[in-house]
Amino acid sequence: MMQRSRRRRLALGVTVTVAFAALLAGCSNNNGQNSLDPAGEDAQKIMDLFTPIFWIAVVVGVGVFAAVVFTLIKYRERTGDESPKQVHGSTPLEIGWTIAPAVILAAIAVPTILLIFDIAERPSGDDVLKVEVTGKQWWWQYEYPEQAMVPTQAVVTANELHIPVDTEVELALHACDAGFSEGECNVIHSFWVPELAGKEDVIPGRENYLTISANRTGTFLGQCAEYCGLSHANMRLRVIVHEKGRVRGLGREPTGPRPAVG
Ligand SMILES: [Cu+2]
């Protein structure tokens, strides 16, 4: 008998330790893709919405668990108890737990919807950098049409998006498989650099827009966030944020005549 309870306690201890280890592993923030460490305007707005919603969820969660634990302890069966009186519902309670969640959800929905419209707005102005992004299997192509030194040849990079600091960058997102011609692309990707902006799907036959910006220089990592085939996990992305003026033609007015071509 003694042995059995010791074994039970040991099993409980192991379970709790493993559960805590798994929980703590989720707190790792060294993968360079931490949406809780925003470095861009829209990422900051998303964080500012997330924080109060997180604390509302914490209050609701703790309240529910506390009520369950309180009820389990206070109303547990004791020897000699008779069966409790059987009841069928309580109108005030039912009205209460219908209205309270509705109010909480409405309070969360209003700022969420406002933010969705806010960050979906396309930026305007001369200093907005425009980049054409094409999601392929399994890499990202970035094209800078306005930075072309030769009018018909845009600057093109693969997997590395170079942008100037403190500048709004509008990404026009397309999807295409390298093996297909334009219009025949058939794989959906999703563009996500958690520290700079929200997530935007990259859909064949559509042009979606995403505004990103960075308030500090450095390298920011991202990942295709929509399963797109066997090498989906390798479809990473990297945004390199430079001081203004360090990238020729990016984030500043051209200072001299373009070099002659030919
Ligand atoms: Cu992909």
Residue 175 CA, ligand 1 centroid: distance in Å:
9
Name the residue ranges covered by the structural domains of the chain: 32-75+92-251
List pLDDT tens digits, range 99-152. Answer: 999 999 999 999 999 999 999 999 998 899 999 999 998 899 999 988 877 777
Query: What pLDDT was estimated at residue 30?
Result: 73
pLDDT for position 251: 44
Residue 81 has pLDDT above 90, yes or no: no
Query: How does pLDDT run across 221-248, given as a tens digit for each residue?
Result: 999 999 998 899 999 999 999 998 755 5
Q: From the CA of 216, how far away is ligand 1's center (Å)?
A: 27
Q: Using the mean position of ligand 1's atoms as its centre, give its distance from the Cα of residue 39 in Å.
A: 24
Strands 218-223 and 189-192: unpaired
pLDDT cut 90: percent of the chain above it: 63
177 CA distance to ligand 1 middle (Å): 10
pTM greater than the 0.75 cutoff:
yes
**Mean pLDDT, rounded, for 5-17:** 92
> In the CATH scheme, what architecture does the domain 32-75+92-251 have?
Sandwich (2.60)
The pLDDT of residue 181 is 61
Annotate the chain with three-state secondary structure.
CHHHHHHHHHHHHHHHHHHHHHHHHCCCCCCCCCCCCCCCHHHHHHHHHHHHHHHHHHHHHHHHHHHHHHHHHHCCCCCCCCCCCCCCCCHHHHHHHHHHHHHHHHHHHHHHHHHHHHHHCCCCCCCCEEEEEEEECCEEEEEEHHHCCECCECEEEECEEEEECCCCEEEEEEECCCCCCCCCCCCCEEEECCCCCCEEEECCCCCEEEEECCCCCEEEEEECCCCCCCCHHHCEEEEEEECCCCCCCCCCCCCCCCCCCC
For the stretch 22-57, pLDDT in tens is 888 877 777 788 889 999 999 999 999 999 999 999
Answer whether residue 167 shows pLDDT above 90.
yes
